[in-house]
Amino acid sequence: MRPETEAELANIVADLNQPVRIVGGGTRGDAGPEQVLSVVGLSGISLYEPGALTLVAQAGTPLAEIEAVLAAEGQQLAFEPMDHRTLLGTGGDPTIGGVVAANISGPRRIQAGACRDYLLGVRYVDGLGQVIKNGGRVMKNVTGYDLVKLMAGSWGTLGVLSEVSLKVLPKSESIAALAVQVGDFAQAVKALSAALKSPFEVSGAAYDPAVGQVLLRLEGFADSVAYRIGRLKTELAGFGEISEVEDPETLWRSVRDVSMFRDVEGDVWRLSVKPGAAPEIAARLEAEKLLFDWGGGLIWALVPEGSDVRARLGAFEGHASLVRADAETLQALGRFQPEPAGVAVLSQGLRQRFDPNGVFNPGLMG
């Protein structure tokens, strides 16, 4: 099923008599019901006002199209969404609806915030086929943020997005990055913390244990970046040898997309943790490869196929999501961390209210 208009989408949903798997570009390879409801036919930028820093696009609009239009005006999506194709070996084209539905947010989240923080409004079709509008199309008309943010990260379990309104930001004039050689996880987290606590507006803070380097990014006007890079070198001099990265854009694209795990056998887990606890959790993971992002608050882990990372870690402050594995492992372990009992009741209540017939991506989030 591939509707071409929002009205057609609403009619299709209203007539559903079996569960469907909602897809955009199909780049994340999610499993689910055999019946597929694709939003790629809902494509196109409906409104773009560079002066007002706002953009409205239909959910099936390719992310590349949006980024190209913004770049032509010297603007960008501040939340730097990941491209899953590198890590998962999938095809297709990422869509803006898919990005919003999964709240996909990249390395710049530590400074700029997440995808949901830039959502001004949404239009979606609920489980009864009703078209719901929440928020606004431009910043001055935005009201009722709650449903807007609820839809971001709901993974299509509450409704099918048809249109999203976003705040955009100017693109940085200059980008620079530092690589700081450190000895171990604990020293890496200390260096990351020091950089993020500094006044130099770090927009990327990662650690690659394979090369023993803390990676830091600064963005902005050229003179400002040059000044801040110099000051940050002095600030971090005690941690180890420091060098400037020759191609910072390629480096951070690699961090964003976890390119170092590409074509390497094993399951990939994504853990959200307290940065201070990252070294201890990383040690318990017994992973074959690791990548820290968000100043240590995000851990990417490559482990042997079929590994139950949640069982290995036990209770910890945070959550672990299974990003890449075979169908059998995904079925057995589930993609998302099981919710505490009280939260699970609330989540089920929300899904029952938005999708009373249980037709949208059943089982995906519990």
Same domain? 139 vs 179: no
| Residue 361 DSSP label | S
In the numeric block, the tokens 């992002």 are attached to: 293
**Structural domain includes residue 68:** yes
pLDDT tens readout for residues 92-141: 889 999 999 999 999 999 999 999 999 999 999 998 899 988 876 655 44
**Cα(151)–Cα(124) distance, rounded to whole angstroms?**
9
Same domain? 46 vs 116: yes
Same domain? 288 vs 189: no
In the numeric block, the tokens 């400074």 are attached to: 111
**Structural domain includes residue 338:** no
Number of domains making up the chain: 3
**Cα(120)–Cα(200) distance, rounded to whole angstroms?**
29
Q: What was the pLDDT predicted at 145? A: 44
**Structural domain includes residue 270:** yes
pLDDT tens readout for residues 290-319: 999 999 999 999 999 999 999 999 888 899
Same domain? 67 vs 156: yes
Which amino acid, one-letter code, is at 15?
D
Which CATH number fits the domain that encloses residue 78? Answer: 3.30.465.10
Which CATH number fits the domain that encloses residue 220? Answer: 3.30.70.920
**Structural domain includes residue 34:** yes
- Of the candidates 181, 200, 201, which has an alpha carbon nearest to the alpha carbon of residue 191? 181
Q: What was the pLDDT predicted at 136? A: 66
Going residue by residue through the chain, which has 366 residues, state the pLDDT in tens, using 9 for 90 and above: 888 999 999 999 888 888 988 888 777 777 666 788 889 899 999 999 999 999 999 999 999 999 999 999 999 999 999 999 989 888 888 999 999 999 999 999 999 999 999 999 999 999 889 998 887 665 544 444 478 888 888 888 888 999 999 999 999 999 999 999 998 888 999 999 999 999 999 999 999 999 999 999 999 999 999 999 999 999 999 999 999 999 999 999 999 999 999 989 999 999 999 998 999 999 999 899 999 999 999 999 999 999 999 999 988 889 999 999 998 998 899 898 888 888 888 888 888 888 888 888 877 766
Same domain? 302 vs 246: no
Same domain? 77 vs 56: yes
**Cα(109)–Cα(221) distance, rounded to whole angstroms?**
20
Do 113 and 106 form a contact (C-beta atoms < 8 A)? Answer: no
3-class DSSP state for residue 111?
Answer: helix
How is the beta sheet containing 45-49 ordered, strand by strand? 45-49, 54-58, 160-167, 119-125, 131-135
| Residue 20 DSSP label | B
Same domain? 44 vs 100: yes
Same domain? 96 vs 82: yes
**Structural domain includes residue 364:** no
**Structural domain includes residue 352:** no
Q: Please say which residue of 192, 223, 257 terminates a domain.
A: 257
**Structural domain includes residue 341:** no
**Structural domain includes residue 363:** no
Do 164 and 56 form a contact (C-beta atoms < 8 A)? Answer: yes
**DSSP per-residue codes, 231-280:** HHHHHTGGGS-EEE-S-HHHHHHHHHHTGGGTT--SEEEEEEE-GGGHHH
Beta strand residue intervals within the chain, DSSP E: 21-23, 36-38, 45-49, 54-58, 75-76, 119-125, 131-135, 160-167, 169-170, 174-181, 202-208, 213-220, 242-244, 267-273, 289-293, 298-303, 318-324
Which CATH number fits the domain that encloses residue 287? Answer: 3.30.70
Q: Cα-atom radius of gyration of the chain, to the nearest Å?
A: 21
Same domain? 189 vs 229: yes
Q: Cβ neighbours of residue 25 under 8 Å, at least 6 residues apart?
A: 40, 62, 63, 92, 93, 94, 95, 98
**Cα(260)–Cα(256) distance, rounded to whole angstroms?**
10
Same domain? 35 vs 165: yes
- Of the candidates 273, 265, 314, 315, which has an alpha carbon nearest to the alpha carbon of residue 293? 273
Same domain? 234 vs 263: no
Please give the model's pTM, rounded to 2 decimal places: 0.91
Q: Please say which residue of 129, 152, 170 terminates a domain.
A: 170
Q: What was the pLDDT predicted at 350? A: 84
Domain that holds residue 234: 174-257
**Cα(363)–Cα(164) distance, rounded to whole angstroms?**
25
- Of the candidates 244, 73, 252, 99, which has an alpha carbon nearest to the alpha carbon of residue 171? 73
Same domain? 266 vs 249: no
Q: Please say which residue of 148, 170, 192 terminates a domain.
A: 170
In the numeric block, the tokens 């069982």 are attached to: 311
Helices (H), 23-94: 63-72, 85-88
